Amino acid sequence: MKKILLSATILLLCLTGCGKQLTPQESVSKITEKMSALENFELKLDMQASIKMESVNMDMGMKGTMLLDTENNVSKMDMQVNAFGMNVTMAGYSKTTDKETINYTKDETTKTWVKEIDKKEIPTNITNALDMFKNVKKIEEVKGEKNHYKLTIDAKEIQKLLNNVNDTDDTVQTIKEDVIVDYYFNKDYYLTKISFEATAVSAETGDTTLKITSEFAKFNEVGNIVIPDEVLKAELKK
């Protein structure tokens, strides 16, 4: 679930252009530049995942808020997860360096914090993931709607992202179709909302379809995120 969340988070941060009237391509480039330069912002996520296997279909959902301090590579999340017929609260913090990510999550049963370390090489700043989306395959303006585009992202680019986040290769999960993203932005050229659906095909775990909608707000208004001492003292999960 954490990897799905990280995948979703990175995908949601990926697609980020007054003077003269800008073309759609110029607008997206400008938005990418401005989103990458943000020091902090809020992300509201609504994600639905559907896994289809030979004999079993499983649905799960995740909804909540993430605060991202990209200047210091720290994030805070408060999520509600619905899976296996249960609703679970997921609260946590993450701190990223150039060598590892430290995740802190709260055990709602014991009310204690647990620490996990992922030493896989990852970008020093999560918005670096935006770089792979600077060459969008296709951009279309939505007729009758201002500041709303449909972006086509090459399946190969999404595959690279999926492999990096999940530390796998194309043989585990494969993205076979391009992803169409509904892409909204404001007059200041900040990304405000994206919505998309993507399916990963796997012989081992079945087909996984993600439906994601997210809203971005509070640009440079969140401030620095400080992880409380109580959380920093969490024991390493064995």
The pTM for the full model equals 0.82
What is the pLDDT at residue 135? 67
How much of the chain, in percent, has pLDDT values that exceed 90? 41
Return the bridge partners of 47, or none. Answer: 62, 212
Strands (DSSP E) contained in the chain are: 41-52, 57-69, 74-83, 86-96, 101-107, 112-118, 138-141, 148-153, 174-175, 179-185, 191-201, 207-217, 235-236
Strand partners, 96: 101
Distances in Å between the alpha carbon of 133 and those of 18, 22, 43, 62, 119? 22, 19, 19, 25, 25
Q: Which pLDDT tens digit goes with each residue over 118-130?
A: 876 554 444 555 6
Mean pLDDT, residues 65-72: 93
Question: What's the pLDDT tens digit per position in 131-186?
Answer: 555 668 899 999 999 999 999 988 887 777 666 655 555 556 788 889 899 999 99
- pLDDT, tens digit, 9 for 90 and up, residues 2-20: 555 555 666 555 544 334 5
pLDDT top residue among 204 and 227: 227
pLDDT at 56: 76
* pLDDT tens-digit readout, 206-223: 788 889 898 999 999 999
pLDDT of residue 215: 94
C-alpha 223/C-alpha 67 separation (Å) is: 9
Give me the mean pLDDT over the 212-237 stretch: 93
In this predicted structure, the answer to whether residue 192 has a pLDDT above a threshold of 90 is: yes
For the chain, how big is the Rg over CA atoms in Å?
A: 18
Nearest one of 44, 22, 13 to 147, comparing CA atoms: 22
Question: What confidence tens digit (pLDDT) does each residue in 75-134 have?
Answer: 999 999 998 788 888 899 999 887 888 999 998 888 899 999 987 655 444 455 565 556
Per-residue pLDDT, averaged over 195-199, amounts to: 89
More confident residue, 58 or 64: 64
DSSP-based helix, strand, coil % in the chain, nearest 5: 20, 45, 35
More confident site: 198 or 192: 192
> What is the sign of the dihedral through the CA atoms of 224, 229, 233 and 237?
negative
What distances in angstroms separate CA 84 from CA 50, 88, 105, 145, 203, one per listed residue? Answer: 12, 10, 20, 39, 22
Taking the alpha carbons at both ends of the chain, their separation in whole angstroms is 18
CB distance 93 to 234 below 8 Å: no
**What span, in angstroms and rounded, lies between the C-alpha atoms of 184 and 28?**
10
